[in-house]
Amino acid sequence: MKLTPLILLSTAWTLTAAEWPGWRGAEQDGSVAGEKPPAKFSAEENLLWKAALPGRGCSTPIVVDGKIILTSEIEGKDGVIAYDMEGKELWRKTFGKIIPGRGQRVGSSANSSPVTDGEAVYVYFKSGQLAALELSGDVRWEMNLFKKFGEDKLWWDVGTSPVIAGGNLVVAMMQTDAPSYIVSLDRKTGNTVWKNDRHYETGPESGDSYTTPLVYDIDGKETLVCWGGDHLTGQDVATGEILWTVGGFNPDKKKGWRVIASAVASGDVALVPYARGEYVAGVKMGGKGDTTEKAHLWKHKLGSDSATPAADDGKFYILTDRGPQRGLVTCIDAPSGKVLWKDKLPKAAQTFYASPIIAGGLLVCPREDGVVLTAKIGKEGLEEIKSNELGEGVIASPVVVDGQLLLRGDRSLFCFAN
């Protein structure tokens, strides 16, 4: 079993080292091989360029066809902006009026990251606005998902990002107090291909999910893997049929166990963060029907509430993002669940909301106060830890293409390189 690069099963597009097609990269696991980005950087050192952003947004940029594309508030409207690789703005588009983020310090109207199939870019906002744009910036189609399928009753801001699965655009809306569903839309027209209602009985707020699905080749079948509502599921990307279901994460239906950090996979094992960052579980994907009894392989009392773990070379890397142990990095062998090592980043009071990435063996961890910590991953822990200050807060996850490090701050887009 192997991780399916995002959308490669459905199009003829071939990714290059200079592309980052979705929130967690081409392999959906927050890791990329090749040239390392700079470990030490600042405005005076290794800064290639800096571009001012028109408004707030917490979404992560994508890179395709020599363009950097991100979503943002623009003059009170949902907006999309494209830059070239030198930071020059190419185009911008706006849609309807924004719905402001409930948590203005860490949330926004534009939390969901774009995704591309190499032909178009697809964007999604807290307002429910969903749109497809050509890479030239022309709008292919747009709709309001909430007006069509049901209102948003999430306690906090919409956070899931759309994905490409089965040749279509798929969006998950998993919530406790309103219709919960996953919908597949035709990329060319926006027409509904299938819609799967997703109802699991949970405690108050525990059905709310801000996670992004994975697209995986499991048992020779392209599968949509979704984490939310206290269940991990695998669905047929062509029909929406649920192939297998894993429960058992919250048998007592405790309240408030909403999930923010997404699942990540290595081989046939998914790492599932749950219990508001208290636990992670190793879960075997695949099979048929309710596989709960056999699917739970291992679990640890450690985790991450907001920052999605990374996977690389058969290992999971978990950044404890808040609480007394924040800054703890744990390396776990994916198949066995064995903890290979634990190490600490420099302690601070601030939280890690951005999800860490691994680029060429370098761990990159932005903190909410704009300090970006980097470390070389060694066999027994972290080596050569560096602290870098951007001078503005960071919520969006980092991106690396061809050794260039893109960081989206509260006010600016930065590009650093060796």
Q: State the chain's maximal CA–CA distance in angstroms.
A: 56
pTM (two decimals)? 0.95
177 contact partners, CB below 8 Å, separation of at least 6: 153, 207
What pLDDT is stored for residue 15 in this prediction? 67
Residue stretches of the chain with pLDDT short of 70:
1-17, 103-104
Tokens 């192997």, located at residue = 2
Nearest Cα to 373, choosing from 40, 127, 64?
A: 40
- How far is it, in rounded angstroms, from Cα 239 to Cα 59? 29
Determine how many CB atoms are found less than 10 A away from the CB of residue 75.
9
Domains located in the chain, CATH noted: 2-9+18-416 (2.130.10.10)
| Ordered strands of the 120-124 beta sheet | 115-116, 120-124, 129-134, 139-144
Q: Name residue 108's amino acid.
A: S
Contact status, residue 329 vs residue 382, Cβ threshold 8 Å: yes
Report the C-alpha gap between 89 and 92 in whole angstroms: 8
Q: Give the integer Cα–Cα distance in Å for 136 and 139.
A: 9
pLDDT of residue 17: 63
Is residue 315 within 8 Å of residue 340, measured between CB atoms?
A: yes
Say if CB 212 and CB 171 are below 8 A apart.
no
**What local confidence, expressed as pLDDT, does residue 344 receive?**
97
Three-state secondary structure call for residue 293: helix
For the chain, the residue count is 418
| C-alpha separations of 391 from 61, 236, 371 in Å | 19, 45, 8
Q: Quote the CA–CA distance of 106 and 410 in Å, as a whole number.
A: 10
Spell out where 267-327 has E strands. 269-274, 279-284, 289-290, 296-300, 310-312, 315-319
